[in-house]
Amino acid sequence: MLKVFLLPILMIGLQAGCATSPEQARQGASQPAKAAAKSSPQIIADETSCGKCGMLPAKYPQWHSQIIFTDGSMVPFDGCKCMFSFLLGMAQYDKQHARTDVAAVWVKDFLSGEWLVADSAHFVVGSDVMGPMGKELIPFAERLAAVKFQLEHGGSLEQFDKITTETLLALSKGHMKMEMKGGHGKM
């Protein structure tokens, strides 16, 4: 008898917990497509070129990043610097998509090589560890790991939403200085 009485109360409580405000409902209207596109990063084929520089990302698996669009298409990159350049200047690189078409941005944790959603990553910017195109934005899943890496290799610590074209310009200037010294540094 107690079970019969508690079941309707439990169901009402569960439904109340799932209620959303009108604002939440509007924001979540496009979530199914985004959730499907975010389900997992896509495989980067050997012959696929970087969406920004044209290099072959498959040669640099540790540095992979990718943007997945709501239509399911994916653009790969050989490093986060190329990915951010593409994302921040999308109209220059992609005539079919707008920034609002981005469903997910994936990067690889520098230590584990595991994929993670870019907006949850902690980026070390401009360290002495060089990527495929010189100075890089190096992603970490854990803030503590990023701080430790930064203390050992220099650079600054940034979050996804704080990376700007100015950040990328500073990295490019560092790349020019590095080339003049005659090398790509540590890899």
Over the stretch 12-21, which tens digit does the pLDDT of each residue have?
A: 444 444 444 4
Q: Which domain holds residue 142?
A: 30-181
Indicate the pTM of the whole model: 0.74
Question: What's the whole-number mean pLDDT along residues 5-11?
Answer: 43
Exposure b/e, 139-174, CB count within 10 A at least 16 = b: bbbeeebbeebbeeeebeebebeebeeebbeebeeb
Query: What CA–CA distance (Å, rounded) separates 182 from 108?
Result: 28
Determine whether 116 is exposed, middle or buried from the number of CB atoms within 10 Å of its CB (0-12, 13-18, 19+): middle
Straight-line distance from the first to the last Cα atom of the chain, in angstroms, rounded to the nearest whole number: 69
Closest by CA position to 77, among listed 95, 89, 90, 63 = 63
Q: State how beta strands 115-117 and 102-108 pair.
A: antiparallel
pLDDT band, very low/low/confident/very high, at 172 (cuts 50, 70, 90): confident
* Side chain identity, residue 166: E
Give a yes or no: residue 127 inside a domain.
yes
pLDDT at 76: 97
Radius of gyration for the chain, computed over Cα atoms and rounded to the nearest angstrom: 21
| pLDDT for 8 | 44
Res. 39 pLDDT band, cuts 50 70 90: low
Percent of the chain exceeding pLDDT 70 equals 72
What's the CA gap between 158 and 132, in Å, rounded? 20
Domain membership of residue 108 (yes or no) is yes
Mean pLDDT, the chain, whole residue set? 81
Question: Is 9 domain-assigned?
Answer: no
Please check whether residue 167 lies inside any domain of the structure. Answer: yes
pLDDT of the residue at 174: 58
Contact 74, 66 (CB under 8 A): yes
**pLDDT at 116 > cutoff 80:** yes
DSSP assignment letter at 48:
P
Q: What is the mean pLDDT of residues 71-88?
A: 96
**Nearest Cα to 48, choosing from 64, 62, 37?**
64
Tell whether 164 is covered by a domain: yes
Residue 1 lies in a domain: no
- And the tokens for 53? 């520089």
If one counts the domains in the chain, the total is: 1
180's enclosing H/E stretch is helix 165-181
**Residue 141 token pair:** 């899943």
13 domain residue, yes or no? no
- Tell me, yes or no, whether 6 lies in a domain: no
